[in-house]
Amino acid sequence: MNISYNWLSQYVDISCGIETLAAKLTMAGIEVEAIERSGGIPAGIVVGEILERKPHPDADKLSVCRVSDGKEELQIVCGAPNCDAGNKVPLATIGATLTDKSSGESFKIKKSKLRGVESHGMLCSGRELGLDDDHSGLLILDSALKTGTPLTELFPGDTMFELEVTPNRPDWLSHWGVARDLACLLDKEASLPEIKAPVPLKNEDTANLVTVLDQELCPRYTARVIRNVKIAESPEWLKERLLSIGLRPINNVVDITNFVLMELGHPLHAFDLDKLSGKRIVVRRAADGEKMTMLDDSKLSLKPTHLVIADAEKPVALAGIMGGLDSGVTESTVNVLLESAAFFTSNIRASSRELGISSDSSHRFERGIDWNMLETASNRATSLILELTGGELVTGLVDIQGNKPEFKPVVCRFERIRKLTGVDLSNSRIVDIFKKLRLNVSDIDEVKCVVTPPSFRLDIEREADLAEEVARINGLDAVPVVPVTSKSVASFSKDAYTGIQGLRDELIALGLYDCLHYSTVSDKSALSDSRFASEDVIRMDNPLSLDLVCLRPSLLGEMLATVERNISRKNLDLQLFEIDNVFCANPQKFPEERLECCIVLTGHKHPERFSAERRELFDFYDLKGLTEAWFTDRKIEKFRFEKAEDARFAPGRCAAVMIDGKCGGHIGELNARYSAKFRSEYPIFLGVFETSAILKAKLESPLYSPLAMFPSTTRDVAFLAAQSLQHQTVVDFIRGARLKNLEKVELFDIFTDEKAVGAGKKSMAYTLTFRSSERTLTDKEVNEAFDKLREKLSSDLKVELR
Amino acid sequence: MSNPIIQKIDSALSVAEAKLLNAVTEAEIEEVRIGIIGRNGLFPALSKEMGAVLPEDRKEVGQAFNTGRNRFQELLDAAKQRLAAGAGGKSSDELDLTLPGRLRKLGHKHPVTKVIDDSVAIFRRMGFIVADGPEIETVYHNFDALNTPADHPSRDPGDTFYFKDGRLLRTQTSPVQIRVMESQEPPVRIVAPGRCFRRDTPDATHSMNFHQIEGLYIDRDVSLADLKSILQAYARELFGPNVSIRLRPHFFPFTEPSVEYDFSCIMCGGKGCNVCKQSGWLEIAGAGMVDPNVLKAVGYDPEIWSGFAFGMGIERIAMIRYRINDIRLLYENDTRFLEQF
């Protein structure tokens, strides 16, 4: 909401200055979002009198003037055509700062020389002062003005504050409302000009003037009839008020209703009585499908949930929201019906939202209005209409009232207020704050008082609401900073956060980059993971765009988008991961929300290197090794990799990661159907893990194994085997032979070479390490075990020993 | 007392050894060699004195003479070898020390994760424990139990994502407050970091997906002063000891009194600059004393228990902390961006 400084100053003394005022408002909970100054004149400009004009000796267009500033005579060089002796004009004295409105640049007036002649100031045009756009010559001032008068006195200007008013405080939605609160903050008195109920010239019959058919939605409706108004432009003062807060003046009657709205906070509506069929008002619910054209020319089709102000036949206004096109006050209006009413807040809010119409009026009605102000506003507007339009009041106040809202007294325990606010306030200070806020205080004793809110404070219902008022008015800066005591509430259960943080830290230690994506994704992204069918995906009922309708069932889709984005930006070497929630609609497949972990490796392993390593690309075994390192670090004991088929991966290049016999995820090379469009020739490796499986498998406290005290002995074995023989099979076979004292089995060489080893074959070589924890092994016993193994390899595994 | 000749050999050798160890040129070594075994060096000179040694000492001195000379030869050879080997290492070529190192790179933590981790660590030091809750929430937990009126604008389908079954994507981490209070008796002291969703059209400062960290402290006699103190401690831990905090009155349905809190501008220290729009303050988030209606909704007696709650946007803090000017950068995962954290 916009507030004008000048306007506000009509009700309360705000001579504290604009900055202080803005700070006070903000610290009282009325946040000042912007301050806009208008029409002000910079300091240092005074009324100057030109005493003499002489031509400049060296310039045709310049004059040399003798100018009085009221104290002394100054020589000033001027280029304006009208700097004639006798004129009183604005004089910018040395030191004044002017701002060029078009460029926004400021310049300071200094003593200078123009073509060799000294000039001690500057005579100004209207445009140079920012008053108007006239730059044809100097601004000629009234000759009756005293020379030397500061121009700030003649053109005071105004300041507009843009306020953010929280929804609980509709009483701040007017100048008077802000002034009332401000008075309390500034410790001043706020007062309204006296508003009396205008006396009608005659009393026309009003028995059928207003009918309220739904008193629940319209608990109070008042009307007055004013005849023979002369619709015209509003007087300057009224136009100035509206313009000062950015409203456009229309005509005197409409401007008055807007002025009263912004002054007192109560919305009014003026109807052209002669345009009301039957010359009467009926407040009723709309008929289903009833049509109406609004002031802004929009056409509505209404429903019975919408409250309308109707005449004898048709709706003429959407109650509390906006007037209709044909019933408003125009230049031809002669007789006016002035409405001041109260409407049910929730109904106005619902209708306004449903129909997509909001106005200054609906903004206030949906937050709640002051029941008592309703009549004051009508009085104020009526008086102004009579005064400014020459109209005649022909009725008293027609006032149809339902149930008056109740304001329940609230008990306020002083100690409770002190405890909630943390501020040590005396009882009397607390009571004083309430009184200043115009709350009604009664039954004051040692421990409590009773507070009854006035009709404009709809937000005060409980003790906590009073605590807020005390904290607010006493100032939150007065809330002390106390030592932080950690009287912690113990919890010994492990939180999910710690587990996930651990996983993230481990993957970062392994060189991966932590990524973050949106959970809300497109169908295409969601279904890119072949594990999910369309019906497995959770969709929002009201997505922001049809593009982002799903909750991601997997991290894959968005991670691939990140890979593609990076590749398109020539970031070809990627080591990425994400751990976050994913969603599934099918409880047979997955829980609704669960954590997933996604890893991507692609491009160069060592992009920063300069030697042969520079060319090394990530391959499957890097991802596998990373997984092994990660799991080993978590002391996960029982995991292995098994061949798997999965449409996300390239055929034959996917392994299921089995943790304790259960599948905990997959790793492998990304299927080319995803990567074909990427502008990168490097293979992409993908790992997708069930985070919970990895969290669960962690061994928190591994047991120490004694360090070997005796030396080890190694034996190498090499053989030719069929291409299909897998390393894991060899290791399992050797382990299965249960050789005495065998400590380790390590592959140290593997190659295929058709010429050397024959087609369809490969050479594999292993180092076996033997060690005893009790003694140094003899060659003899190691050889015995080793020979037994060689025999078995040859006879049972059918390999060709070399 | 040993023979003066032996003493001479010992002291000369220790001087020579030090010189040889420090020698960096052939000439230095040669100089030492001449001084000890050169024609006019120590040993030729001593051999002339040998005749004067008492017979009973002769054996001992002779031995010392020979071991001394052998020892010197060893030192000499070692020094020559060292010099020949270059810098004194095993390999002989001089290295180009300016070549790039072989990095053992760590990965990078996302700035949002960093702020969450750092914030949680700070609040844990103040005795808070970490709680969490689901992202698909019930209307009850996200709004009703938080004292949000039935027609409050935040519930509008224009602002909140709903599902067919009536549930929604949580718009704040505050429902975690309710879930925690439903599951335990007071006192409560938790923080809950997590993802939230609002139906905002994305731009440089708005995102449909964002993160918050929620705080809740319920105990006997908790006051606004405790809230202010804890938030100030947080601000100082995160942004440095000179940051101050300001509370401003505000309105939220689930707190009363409600406040917004600002940190003094970390760019200008409060003097006013472009970042804080000349105000000297950076608006951080909302907080307040838990509304009695919220306490009642979870079965806590507001006559006995009071407390505060706060929530703040992680992205906002991250953008201030790392001077990031567009929230969308946080979700693009450009590696050139991630590498900066």
Q: For chain B, which domains are there? A: 4-84 (no CATH), 111-338 (3.30.930.10)
- Give the amino acid at B263: F
* A557 contacts: CB under 8 Å, gap ≥ 6: A521, A524, A525, A526, A527, A528, A529
Residue A227: which pLDDT band, with cuts at 50, 70 and 90?
very high
Tokens of A37: 């100054």
Residue A83 has pLDDT above 80, yes or no: yes
A514 neighbourhood in chain B, CB within 8 Å: 107-110, 113, 338
| B34/chain A closest Cα distance in angstroms | 47
Assess contact for A627 and A667: CB atoms under 8 A: yes
- pLDDT of res. A760: 87
CA angle A296, A302, A303 (to 5 degrees): 155
CA A499 to chain centre: 31
| Distance between CA atoms of residues A118 and A94, nearest Å | 13
The H-assigned helical ranges of A133-284 are 151-154, 175-186, 236-244, 252-264
Q: pLDDT by residue (tens digit) across A661-714?
A: 999 999 999 999 999 888 888 999 999 999 999 999 888 888 888 888 899 999
DSSP string, A332-368: T---EEEEEEE--HHHHHHHHHHHT---HHHHHHTT-
| Distance between CA atoms of residues A434 and A125, nearest Å | 52
| Distance between CA atoms of residues A373 and A369, nearest Å | 8
CA A192 to chain centre: 37
DSSP string, B183-237: HSPSPEEEEEEEEEE--PPP-SS--SEEEEEEEEEEETT--HHHHHHHHHHHHHH
**What is the pLDDT averaged over residues A441-455?**
96
Percent of chain A predicted with pLDDT > 70? 99
Give, in order, the Cα–Cα distances in Å from A611 to each of A342, A380, A761, B223: 83, 89, 33, 64
Residue B275: which pLDDT band, with cuts at 50, 70 and 90?
confident
Q: pLDDT by residue (tens digit) across A591-607?
A: 999 999 999 999 999 88
Cis peptide bond prior to B187, omega within 30° of 0: yes
**What is the pLDDT averaged over residues B100-112?**
91
| Distance between CA atoms of residues B38 and B30, nearest Å | 9
Residue B292 has pLDDT above 80, yes or no: yes
Q: From the CB of residue A702, how many other CB atoms can be counted at a distance below 10 Å?
A: 9
Cβ of B256 and A467 within 8 Å?
yes
Give, in order, the Cα–Cα distances in Å from A669 to each of A526, A620, A621: 20, 7, 10
- pLDDT of res. A164: 93
Residue B336 has pLDDT above 90, yes or no: yes
Q: pLDDT by residue (tens digit) across A532-570?
A: 999 999 999 999 888 899 999 999 999 999 999 999 999
CA angle B265, B268, B272 (to 5 degrees): 80
Q: Which residue has the tokens 């912690």?
A: A488
**What is the pLDDT averaged over residues A291-307?**
92
ipTM reported for the complex, 2 dp: 0.82
* A493 contacts: CB under 8 Å, gap ≥ 6: none
* B298 contacts: CB under 8 Å, gap ≥ 6: B145, B178, B181, B182
Residue A288: which pLDDT band, with cuts at 50, 70 and 90?
very high
A169 neighbourhood in chain B, CB within 8 Å: 251
**What is the pLDDT averaged over residues A745-764?**
88
The number of CA neighbours under 13 Å toward the Cβ of A583 is: 22
DSSP three-state, residue B44? helix
Q: From the CB of residue A447, how many other CB atoms can be counted at a distance below 10 Å?
A: 12
Q: What is the mean pLDDT of chain A?
A: 92
Closest chain A residue to the Cα of B246, Cα to Cα: A477
Q: What is the mean pLDDT of chain B?
A: 90
Question: Whole-angstrom distance between the N-terminal and C-terminal Cα of chain B?
Answer: 70
Residue A486 has pLDDT above 70, yes or no: no
E-only strand ranges, A59-186? 59-68, 73-78, 88-92, 97-99, 106-108, 112-114, 117-119, 122-123, 158-164
| Distance between CA atoms of residues A8 and A346, nearest Å | 30
Of A458, A436, A401, nearest to A173 (Cα)? A458
Cβ of A518 and B136 within 8 Å?
no
Residue A358: which pLDDT band, with cuts at 50, 70 and 90?
very high
Of A509, A525, A506, nearest to A517 (Cα)? A525
CB–CB contacts below 8 A, A to B: 229
Pick from B135, B136, B223: which is nearest to A419 by CB? Answer: B223
| A771/chain B closest Cα distance in angstroms | 33
Cβ of B333 and A519 within 8 Å?
no
Assess contact for A285 and A306: CB atoms under 8 A: yes
Residue A436: which pLDDT band, with cuts at 50, 70 and 90?
very high
Assess contact for A380 and A260: CB atoms under 8 A: yes
The number of CA neighbours under 13 Å toward the Cβ of B179 is: 20
Cβ of B109 and A353 within 8 Å?
no
| Distance between CA atoms of residues B88 and B98, nearest Å | 19
Of A618, A580, A1, A581, nearest to A262 (Cα)? A1
* B234 contacts: CB under 8 Å, gap ≥ 6: B119, B122, B123, B126
Q: For chain A, which domains are there? A: 2-39+158-186 (3.30.56.10), 45-154 (2.40.50.140), 210-401 (3.50.40.10), 410-477 (3.30.56.10), 496-697 (3.30.930.10), 713-801 (3.30.70.380)
* pTM confidence score: 0.81
Tokens of B43: 């040993």
CA A549 to chain centre: 22
Cβ of B113 and A566 within 8 Å?
no
- pLDDT of res. A683: 95
Pick from B113, B224, B338: which is nearest to A471 by CB? Answer: B224
| Distance between CA atoms of residues A647 and A670, nearest Å | 9
Closest chain B residue to the Cα of A491, Cα to Cα: B129
Higher pLDDT, B47 or A341: A341
Residue A154 has pLDDT above 80, yes or no: no
Cis peptide bond prior to A706, omega within 30° of 0: no
Q: Which residue has the tokens 């060709």?
A: A800
- Give the amino acid at A521: V
Residue A97 has pLDDT above 60, yes or no: yes
Q: What are phi and psi of B321, to 5 degrees?
A: -65, -40
Q: Which of B124, B224, B306 to mutate to test the interface with A (most CBs of A within 10 A)?
A: B224
| A646/chain B closest Cα distance in angstroms | 27
Residue B220 has pLDDT above 60, yes or no: yes
- pLDDT of res. A494: 78
**What is the pLDDT averaged over residues A398-404?**
92
Cβ of A462 and B292 within 8 Å?
yes
Cβ of A519 and B232 within 8 Å?
no
DSSP three-state, residue A295? coil
| Distance between CA atoms of residues A684 and A677, nearest Å | 12
**What is the pLDDT averaged over residues B194-208?**
91
Q: pLDDT by residue (tens digit) across A37-76?
A: 876 677 888 999 999 999 998 888 899 999 999 889 999 9
Pick from B136, B200, B248: which is nearest to A593 by CB? Answer: B136
Assess contact for A762 and A726: CB atoms under 8 A: no
Q: From the CB of residue A553, how many other CB atoms can be counted at a distance below 10 Å?
A: 27
**What is the pLDDT averaged over residues B173-193?**
95
Residue B86: which pLDDT band, with cuts at 50, 70 and 90?
low
- What is the DSSP pairing of strand A315-318 with strand B306-313? unpaired
Give, in order, the Cα–Cα distances in Å from A378 to each of A10, A330, A373, A692, A707: 20, 20, 8, 68, 96
Q: Is A98 exposed, middle or buried (0-12, 13-18, 19+ CB in 10 A)?
A: buried
A566 neighbourhood in chain B, CB within 8 Å: 333-335
| Distance between CA atoms of residues A607 and A574, nearest Å | 10
**What is the pLDDT averaged over residues A438-453?**
96
| Distance between CA atoms of residues B252 and B265, nearest Å | 24
B156 neighbourhood in chain A, CB within 8 Å: 353
Query: In the 8-state DSSP scheme, what is residue A150?
Result: B
Q: From the CB of residue A33, how many other CB atoms can be counted at a distance below 10 Å?
A: 11
- pLDDT of res. B2: 67
Q: pLDDT by residue (tens digit) across A766-787?
A: 999 999 989 999 999 999 999 9
| Distance between CA atoms of residues A196 and A192, nearest Å | 11
Give, in order, the Cα–Cα distances in Å from A296 to each of A333, A359, B333: 19, 11, 47
